[in-house]
Each structure stands twice: as structure tokens, then as C-alpha cells.
Amino acid sequence: MHIKEKTIAILKQFDIGKKFSYLPVLPKASVLIPLLVKNGELHTLMTLRSKQLRTSAGEVCFPGGKREPSDQDDVDTALREAQEEIGLPPDDVQVVCTLFPIINKSGLLVTPVVGFIDASFRPSPNPAEVSAVFTVPLDFFTSQKDHYAAHGAAGLVGPLHSFHFVDPDSRRQYHIWGLTAMLAILVAALALRKKPEFDVGFDSEDPLSFFQQILHRRLNKL
């Protein structure tokens, strides 16, 4: 089986469907975690947010943003934001699954949407929102080599993950941390069926119960 088809079959097992439809109405957001096959390996595409933005300026993120009234669902939000930020046409994304939502530091309920894009995609970043677009081998997020972790961060359950990645094409170094790093580790562990070389803070083979626990703990404080 080709690497793409194999990965799709694995990730579909973790699709949440309507499992979290019972959650209270919270401000919602979605991110698209774009996967692609490059040189026979799985990669993910990431963006560097513009320094002009009010929130998370100059940070590495996946394409995404807040739900708008015109969006039909979480997938719609993720695809719309990716088109606005990097010029990715929604029809060019093969949506694979929706993973469990996570409440971010701003109190937004963030739903990750995983989808495949073609390796030939050439981003057209919106300079008002994105200052760079790059890809990272998914395996990078399971390796100890460039990984750092801080424990006991305020309001955080488990370690705060951090990576330093040097893009071989541009030679630029990117700092990938926080929720973005956690999502990258999660998708890497699931898609590659590989236990990371460091303590991730959750069961990488069955992460759902851990994230449900965090979610309910945060909701109980609201």
C-alpha cells in the first residue's frame, strides 16, 4: 500500500465525527494540518505568522483561525482559513479526519483537521497574515534531537514542547512550540505509528482519553 493510502487508513481510525457535539457553546477555531509526501516521506506544512498580527505574532502555526457565521462546520473553517492565508484551494485538500478539540490559552475550542495536499502545491502567502511557509518531515516531531520540554508551565497539563527546526531550503531556523508543537507530535505519533523518543505527556497509541480529561478539566473551570 502506498504511504499516503496507508496513512489515511490509520488516521481515519481517530476521526471524532460528532463525538464532541455535546460540548457547550464556546468560541470556536480550527486549524488545518496539511500532510504531503515529499521524497517518499510524510511532511507537514506550517506557516510563520506575520509580526503585524495582534495575536501570536511571529509564531509558527498551522493555517487556521476563528469560526465565522458563514462556516458550516470545523472543516469549513480550516479550509477557508488555509485559502485566505496561503492560497490553498479547498478542492485541493483531501480531508482525512477531524481530531479531538483542545482549548487553547485564549479559551478558544480549537479543532484540528488533517488533510492531504499535493507536494506540487506552491503557497501564495497573504503578507498581512503569513510571512513564511515551509514543510517539516513528520518524523522530526518524534525525535529527541531538536526537542526541548519545560514542565510545570502555568495552566498546562503535561510538558510544554518546543523544537528548533532549520529549513534545508531557506536555511532559516524556526521555533515550533506550544499547541502547534503538541499537535505536530500528536499527528506524527498517530500517522507514523511511532512512539516519540521523549515524554509526550499522553499515551501516543490512545491519546483520546488524555485529551478528553484535559478538556473536561478546563470546562469545569469555566
Q: Which three cell numbers mark 27?
A: 468560541
Tens-digit pLDDT profile for residues 150-207: 875 555 556 889 999 999 988 999 999 988 999 999 999 999 999 898 988 777 777 7
Coil, strand or helix at 59: coil
With vertex at residue 184, the alpha carbon angle to CA 178 and CA 186, rounded to the nearest 5 degrees, is 100
Coil, strand or helix at 127: coil
Question: What's phi and psi for 179, nearest 5 deg?
Answer: -60, -40
Coil, strand or helix at 47: strand
**pLDDT value of position 54:** 60
β-bridge mates for residue 53, sequence order? none
Structural domain that includes position 186? 1-220
**pLDDT value of position 221:** 66
**pLDDT value of position 143:** 93
What's the total number of domains in the chain? 1
CATH of the domain at 208: 3.90.79.10
Tens-digit pLDDT profile for residues 107-146: 788 899 999 999 999 999 998 889 899 999 999 999 999 9
Closest CA to 124 of 175, 64, 77, 82: 82
Distance (Å, rounded) from C-alpha 146 to C-alpha 149?
10
Q: Which three cell numbers mark 195?
A: 512512539
Q: Taking 60 as the threshold, does the pLDDT of residue 77 lie above it?
A: yes
Average pLDDT on 9-38 reads 85
pTM recorded for the entire structure = 0.91
